[in-house]
Structure formats: structure tokens, C-alpha cells
Amino acid sequence: MLNPQERVVMISGANRGIGLAIARCLYDKGYSLSLGARDMSTLDPVVRSLEDDRVLTHRYDAQDADNNAAWIDATVERFGRIDALVNNAGRADHLNIEDDDEALLDELLEVNTKAPMRMIRLALPHLRRSGAGRIINVISLSGKRVANDGTGYAISKFAMMAVNHAARRAAWKEGVRSTALCPSYVATDMTDGVEDVARDDMIQPEDLAELAAVAIALPNNATVAEILVNCRFEPLL
């Protein structure tokens, strides 16, 4: 297993839900963190009890390429390295196949696919230098099958699965490993409106965080391409 005390992890959408759970989990294990969120004020409660020398916060805007590059640069300036990138930030707007709203589809693709792909591209030179760089793409089981009318969301997540596997190939020889973390319903604010699965029966974000931590800590010769996590039985998953 890799030594957390020597590693720096970037996490987008670290202010709530799965991203926050991953941030807390990795911090407790000894990692240094660079945490990104669109609303910086929401990160204040997160970092209040953490050691300043191990945590950097930075605004992350998925639709602003200059902002993404600035976050990478700020992380390297502060810590001198990047060892792992967790692409967690995303949106889940409902868009059916019969809905005539291509602007919303473009936004879903921008936030859920293009932005994390951009972050991977920007981080790869630093992940290569790490020798054991890790990428965790928080995707969804909606990137593996279509189970409801959320067509636009599924399209963006299927596309992100392609990005994940492209990232696995991109710098394999330099020790970079990419893992897709694909949960079904998770007990976060994103699933507040879900009625067909009870809240207590949903996946807990803290459990997903432990899986992400394992994927980050595994050595180069024990990589996991996809982690599918369900809270209910599905024949194909």
C-alpha cells in the first residue's frame, strides 16, 4: 500500500455528499488535500477543524477552463506535487430522450464529462511524475445501464466511462491508474427527491469514501478499473 503521508489528493465537489466524505476519509488517513467547490464559502465548515498545512481550498468551476488550470497550478505551488485526482463534482438534471432541450444536454456534458476530462488532462503531467498517480472518477451506475428516463444524465455518464478507460491507457507505463467509482442511490442531497428507495437503504457516502481510499492506496500492480456499488438487486449488476 502507498504511504498517505507523502501524497497529495485533489477532490472536486468536496463541500458536500460523496466528495465531502472522501475528503474526510482521506484526511483521517493522513493525506494532504486540495479541495475544490464552486461556492468557496461552503468549504469553510469543512476545513475549520483541519490542519491548515495539509489542506488547500480553491474555487472549482466546471465550465471555466482557466479556473481549472488555476486550481492545478495553485495545488502544485502549495504542495509541490499531485498524486491523485478525484473527479467528483457533477449535476443530475432530468432530461428525457423526448425532451427538446439540447442546451441542458450540453450543460450536462460540460459538467459531467468535459470538465473531468479536462482536469485529467491538466493533472496528468504531475500524476506521471508521481510514479503512482491515481484518478478516481465518481461516475454512477447510470454510466453502465439506463434504468430510468434520465437520458441526458446517462449519456454524460456513459461518456465519462469512456474517459475513465482512456485515462487508464494514457499513462499506464508511468504508473498512473484510473478507477471508475459507480454507485447507485447514495444518501446525499442529490437523492432527496427519490421515493422508490428508502433513505436508510441507500448507500452511505462514507462507505464509498472507503472504496475510493482503497483504490488510491493500492500499489501499481493491483489496480481496479471499475467499482460497481449497488444498494438493491439488479440482474445485470
Active site residue ranges: 153
Question: Using an 8 Å Cβ cutoff, are 127 and 176 in contact?
Answer: yes
**Alpha carbon distance 156, 114 (integer Å):** 9
Partnered with residue 228 across adjacent β-strands are 182
Entry field: residues in the chain: 237
**Alpha carbon distance 181, 37 (integer Å):** 20
Task: Please state whether beta strands 32-37 and 55-59 pair in parallel, antiparallel, or not at all (unpaired).
Answer: parallel
Question: Using an 8 Å Cβ cutoff, are 67 and 60 in contact?
Answer: yes
Which secondary-structure segment (H or E) carries 228? strand 226-229
The per-residue b/e assignment along 178-195, b for 16 or more CB within 10 angstroms, e otherwise, is bbbbbbbbbbbeebeeee
Nearest residue to 87 (alpha-carbon basis) of 179, 190, 152: 179
